[in-house]
Amino acid sequence: MHSNDAQMLVLTVLATGPLHGYAINTAIEELTGRKLGPGSLYGALSRLEARELIGPAGEAGERHRTMQITDAGRDTLRVELEQMARVSQTGLRALGIAPT
C-alpha cells in the first residue's frame, strides 16, 4: 500500500468523526480487511497534519491524540474520491459491468 493510499484511508475514516490513532487503524481494518503498519499509519497522520488536512480534536497533552478532519481535508478527500469514482466507473464500463 502506497503512502498516498494510507493518507486516503485515514481521511476517509476521519470523515465519519474524530478518532485517535488506534481507533483509526481499527476503522481502516473494518473498511479494508487489514490494518496499516505503524510506519504507514503514523507517517500518513504526520503528513496529513503537516498539510493541515487533519488537526487535533482534543486538548494538548492527552495521552492518545484524537484527530479530526479539517475543511481543507474534506475538500481534498472529496476531489480524490470523485476522481477515484470516475476511474472506477470507466473501468467497470470497460469490463461490461454496470456501475452500481
Partner 1 sequence: MRAAVLITRLYPPAVRERWGAEISHEVSESGIRSWPDALGGAARLWLHPGDWPETLAGQTCRVLAVALFAVTAVTALLLRATEPSAALTADVGHPATSLWLAPIVVGIALAAPRPPLRWDALRHLTTVAFRTLTAPAVAVVAMFVTGRSGLIEHPTGLAHAALIVYYWATLGLTAICLCTLIARVARTVTTPSTRRLCAALLLLGTGLALAATQSLLAIVWTPAGTGSLTVTLALGLLAAATISAGQDLRRASA
Count the residues of the shown chain that bind partner 1, applying the rule CB under 8 A.
21
Other CB atoms within a 10 A radius of the CB of residue 43 amount to 15
Q: Which of residues 36-75 bind partner 1 (CB under 8 A)?
A: 36-43, 45-47, 49-50, 63-65
Q: Which is nearer to partner 1, 65 or 74 (CB)?
A: 65
Cα dihedral sign, 48-52-53-57 = positive
The single residue among 10, 13, 14, 25 that binds partner 1, judged by CB under 8 A, is 25
**Minimum distance from residue 19 beta carbon to partner 1 (Å):** 12
For the chain, where are the E strands, in sequence order? Answer: 19-20, 54-56, 66-69
**Distance between CA atoms of residues 55 and 45, nearest Å:** 9
Q: Is 2 in the site for partner 1 (CB under 8 A)?
A: no
